[in-house]
Structure formats: C-alpha cells, structure tokens
C-alpha cells in the first residue's frame, strides 16, 4: 500500500507533486489552520505529516496519528511548537527546513530596521491620510545607521546574514549567544563576542535571531529594555515570545527605547493593541520567509525530508534530541 501523507496546510505545488509520487496526499479543503480536534482527526492513520508552524505537535498528536507514523516534517526552521522528545520516544523522526530561508528573513529584518529608523511606515501613513505636508530641513528626521553598532542575539545562519547586510551599511557588529562563533566567522564579519548585558548597553540596534526555548522566552523583558539605550531600536524576526510584548509596548510608549521593528508576536495573530497605536513601531505579519522562491524551497525540502524517512533513508535536515 502507498503511504498516507497528511499536509496540514496547502504548500507549493512542486512539493505536493513530489509527495504524490510517493504516497496518497491529503490537504485540507478549504485551506485553513485546523483546530486541535480536526487536526488529530486528519492525521489519523498517517505515515507522514508535513506540518505548519502553528500546529501543536506533541504526544497526543502522535497518538492520534497512530503507531505507523514515521515522520513529522515541519515547513519551518523553528520547532518550538513540536515536542521533539515525545515524538522521538515514539520513534517518530522530526525534520525542519533550515538554510533555505536565511536570505529572505535577513532581507525582511533589515527592511524592517530601515522602515523604523527612517520612519517609512509613518511617512506612508501621513501621505495616505492626505495630511498636508511640505519639505523643510527638519521634516520627519530619522536615524542613520552608518557608524552605529548592531547587536545580534544568536549568530546562526540568519544572524550572520543580517550582519553582512549591516556591514554594507557601515555598521559595527557585536553578538552574543549560547556559544562563541568560529574565529573565521568573527573575522569575516569583524564581529566581537560580548555578554548579553554589554550588548544591550552598547548597541544602537538589537536584532534577535535566537530560537525560542525555555531559556529565551521573554529574554527581552522589562529589565532588558531598561538596559538598552533610549536611542536604541529592537528588531525581532525570530519568535514572538522571545520578547515580553507588554513590557515592550510600555517601553516604547514611555520613550525608554527609540523604536521597534517586529515580524513576529507573542500571541500570533494577535498584536498588543498599544503597538498598533505607536508610530515608532514597524510591523509585519510574519513575512520573514514570504517570498515565492523561499516558501517553495522550504516546502520542497520538507517534502524531501518526509520522502526520505518513508524510504528508510536519512532525511536531509533532521532535528536531533
């Protein structure tokens, strides 16, 4: 019998074609995020599941699928929504899609940074509201990046890509993380390793690229925000709960920091209402990997991961315990 493959959200057609060559593919119609009860019913009897980042994949999910489940292949880099130990305990392989979204996410992060520092969103809103305006020397002055310090929290693939873009804008790079980068990476980026406290105290821009873990949840809280310069900006394109959103909203409203650029939120798709009211915030609805090329590459990699496991082969990008 051909294996049953459940795809929890519609993905790029090239990836679906690969999966159809291997097994019987089920995709929800109409395409939508499935609530837990529907999700568990949908995966029942599945040999492989290609999941989305909003799916809660845990022991109950695996038990609902059944003992024949071999692999859960998420179309994402982060897998904080997946209980990896619970799945591994049931001999289910977990895979993700690192690498293919690096440049798209770094582009978006730097674009958001430019948007908040040069007040582009605020300026566009002014024009769309047909507010009268006239050029003058102090009209809507923003903040330049040349000679400023970018502090990167998490110098992985996306963090390094962000650093390369910052170098092109004449910025200095400091970074922190669970471990120090290889000397060759530090030389390439002219990057200096510092503690989180020093990074927060000295950076003009703090850009978050660390995974969401119990240790990084609310890494940027009221105390961290109080440590930052009042002229500094925060960029978050990793996972929303890395930032205490209520504390950030309060800091921005009080002018404790200069601004923030956010692509992810603590309780997606909800956004803290204060953030929606502030002009010193640039917002995007989780668009980090949202290019046709990148989302296609992610879906194809997820499909190849699932297919490899179904064939008894090592998947290209497994998640280790």
Do 205 and 63 belong to one domain? no
Do 108 and 84 belong to one domain? no
Do 147 and 91 belong to one domain? no
Assign 253 a pLDDT band (cuts: 50, 70, 90).
very high
Do 197 and 242 belong to one domain? yes
Percent of the chain with pLDDT over 90: 99
Do 15 and 35 belong to one domain? yes
pLDDT per position as a tens digit, 210-249: 999 999 999 999 999 999 999 999 999 999 999 999 999 9
Kindly report the average pLDDT of the chain as a whole number. Answer: 97
Do 129 and 205 belong to one domain? yes
Would residue 195 count as lying in a domain? yes
Do 152 and 38 belong to one domain? no
Q: Is the model's pLDDT at 64 over the cut of 90?
A: yes
How far apart, in whole angstroms, are the C-alpha atoms of residue 107 and residue 188?
19
How far is the CA of 31 from the CAs of 7, 21, 26, 71, in angstroms?
Answer: 10, 21, 11, 22
Do 126 and 232 belong to one domain? yes
Do 39 and 141 belong to one domain? no
Would residue 317 count as lying in a domain? no
Would residue 90 count as lying in a domain? yes
pLDDT per position as a tens digit, 274-313: 999 999 999 999 999 999 999 999 999 999 999 999 999 9
Do 25 and 82 belong to one domain? yes
Do 202 and 278 belong to one domain? yes
Host domain of residue 68:
4-99+292-310
Would residue 141 count as lying in a domain? yes
Domains in the chain, number:
2
Identify the CATH number of the domain in which residue 65 sits.
3.40.50.720
Would residue 319 count as lying in a domain? no
Query: 209 CB contacts (<8 Å, ≥6 apart)?
Result: 109, 152, 153, 154, 155, 156, 158, 159, 162, 237, 238
Q: Is the model's pLDDT at 167 over the cut of 90?
A: yes
Assign 97 a pLDDT band (cuts: 50, 70, 90).
very high
- Specify the pLDDT at position 321: 81
Q: Which residues are catalytic?
A: 239, 268, 286
**Residue pair 174/199 in contact by the 8 Å Cβ criterion:** yes
Do 136 and 111 belong to one domain? yes
- Specify the pLDDT at position 37: 97
- Specify the pLDDT at position 75: 98
Q: Is the model's pLDDT at 116 over the cut of 90?
A: yes
Tokens of 18: 């690969």
Would residue 128 count as lying in a domain? yes
């Amino acid at each position: 019998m051909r294996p049953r493959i459940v795809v929890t959200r519609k993905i790029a057609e090239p990836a679906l074609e690969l999966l159809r060559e291997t097994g019987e593919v089920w995709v929800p119609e109409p395409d939508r995020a499935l609530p837990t009860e529907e999700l568990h019913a949908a995966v029942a009897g599945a040999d492989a599941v290609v999941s989305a980042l909003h799916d809660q994949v845990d022991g109950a999910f695996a038990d609902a699928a059944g003992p024949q489940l071999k692999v859960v292949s998420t179309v994402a880099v982060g897998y904080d929504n997946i209980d990896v130990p619970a799945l591994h305990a049931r001999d289910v392989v977990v895979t993700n899609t690192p690498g293919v979204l690096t440049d798209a996410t770094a582009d978006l992060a730097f674009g958001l940074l430019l948007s908040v520092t040069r007040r582009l969103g605020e300026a566009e809103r002014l024009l769309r509201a047909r507010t009268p305006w006239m050029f003058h020397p102090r009209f809507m002055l923003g903040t330049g990046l040349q000679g400023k310090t970018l502090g990167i929290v998490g110098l992985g693939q996306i963090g390094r890509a962000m650093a390369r873009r910052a170098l092109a804008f004449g910025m200095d790079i400091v970074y922190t993380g669970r471990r120090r980068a290889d000397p060759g990476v530090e030389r390439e980026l002219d990057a200096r390793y510092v503690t989180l406290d020093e990074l927060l105290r000295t950076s003009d821009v703090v850009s978050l690229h660390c995974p969401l873990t119990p240790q990084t949840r609310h890494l940027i809280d009221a105390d961290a925000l109080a440590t930052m310069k009042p002229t500094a900006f925060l960029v978050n394109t990793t996972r929303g709960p890395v930032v205490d959103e209520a504390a950030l909203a309060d800091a921005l409203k009080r002018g404790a920091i200069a601004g923030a650029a956010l692509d992810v939120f603590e309780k997606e798709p909800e956004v803290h209402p204060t953030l929606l009211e502030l002009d010193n915030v640039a917002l995007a609805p989780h668009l980090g990997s949202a290019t046709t090329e990148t989302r296609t590459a992610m879906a194809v990699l997820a499909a190849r991961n699932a297919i490899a496991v179904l064939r008894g082969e090592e998947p290209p990008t497994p998640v280790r315990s």
